[in-house]
Amino acid sequence: MTWDAYHAAEHFTMRTARLIDRHRFAYHFQSGPTAPIRSALAAYRNLDGGYGNGIDPDMRGHASQPGGIAIALCYLDEVGPIPHSIGAGVCQFLANVCDPDGSVPHVLPTIRHTEAAPWLLETEDFTGRLDITALICGYLHKHHITHHWRDTATAYCWKRVDALAWTEPAEAIGVCTFLQYAPNRNRAIQAVNRLSTMIRAVIDVHPSVEGRVHTPLDLACHPHHIARPLFTDAEISRSLDVFEEQQRSDGGWDAIWGQWDPAVTLEHEGMRTIQRLRILRAYGRVGTYLPQPRRDR
């Protein structure tokens, strides 16, 4: 990635991204501090311990949603250890809204009373799902957040993973995040090896510049990820090439989500631009001239 392409991405982010994502860009690529990210993230947190208030651009309402919690945990994971008080609050909220087996849906019925993406407002099935439950559990295990909900949900994830006969991209991403951080490493490696064929079947291992698909890099977001061995060096290299070629002349990347509101589209594009830059740097496509982020200790 050229210096000019990086600067174009920087200008795009500073021009259009949300405040929290501007702070994330500064942290990841300009040696910025973590405190502004944590402060901005706190504004999305509710008294019930969950996250809402538009942290997921497609969910504009105040109410906490499991999908919003997943984004919050991802952001917290980027900047250092997740504080136990925040992790415990998240778990308690999820314990109050989960199914008996510990699973949670992407959105709760409260989504119907808010501004949200049309496909979310049309949700009819609010039963728990493996994709979002596994994603959240993965981050909780990585940061050693203990809670009875996490343990119940972990048992649910293992049961579902062991029984999987087919999957789809969002579920594969959640499962791979769970397997990346699950404490039983032998079991996790055996599981990802067993699932490798079905995961590859739902990922576009030969992506083109046009179109919005899930690529190997949506799972193996860095070279040491548990999903990385599922793909050849050539497939990873091709996906990186496509990422570079998909950067627009204004410096940003398209959001993959449906475009239902111009402001939401811009917010997603800011998030996607940072994600693409982080993956490109993890695989050595963004030069060493950029400072590395300084994680909290």
CB 173 within 8 A of CB 146: no
Give me the pLDDT at residue 257, please.
67
How is residue 54 written in tokens? Answer: 């538009």
Distance in angstroms between the alpha carbons of the first and the last residue of the chain = 31
Q: How many whole angstroms separate alpha carbon 241 and alpha carbon 246?
A: 9
Tell how far CA 228 is from the center of its chain: 17
Give me the pLDDT at residue 152, please.
98
Give me the pLDDT at residue 297, please.
44
How is residue 203 written in tokens? Answer: 């990922």
Give me the pLDDT at residue 1, please.
87
Q: Is residue 72 helix, strand or coil?
A: helix
For CA atoms 106, 45, 146, 136, give the dihedral sign: positive
Taking residue 82's Cβ as centre, other Cβ atoms within 10 Å add up to: 20
* Per-position pLDDT tens, the chain of length 297: 899 999 999 999 999 999 999 999 999 999 999 999 999 999 999 999 999 999 999 999 999 999 999 999 999 999 999 999 999 999 999 999 999 999 999 999 999 999 999 999 999 999 999 999 999 999 999 999 999 999 999 999 999 999 999 999 999 999 999 999 999 999 999 999 999 999 999 999 988 767 667 899 999 999 999 999 999 999 999 999 999 999 999 999 998 767 899 999 999 999 999 999 999 999 999 876 677 787 654
**Prediction pTM value:** 0.95
Taking residue 207's Cβ as centre, other Cβ atoms within 10 Å add up to: 21
- Residue identified by tokens 């404490």 is 183
Give me the pLDDT at residue 246, please.
94
Q: How many whole angstroms separate alpha carbon 176 and alpha carbon 194?
A: 12
- Residue identified by tokens 């039983």 is 184
Q: Is residue 250 helix, strand or coil?
A: coil
Give me the pLDDT at residue 232, please.
97
Taking residue 61's Cβ as centre, other Cβ atoms within 10 Å add up to: 19
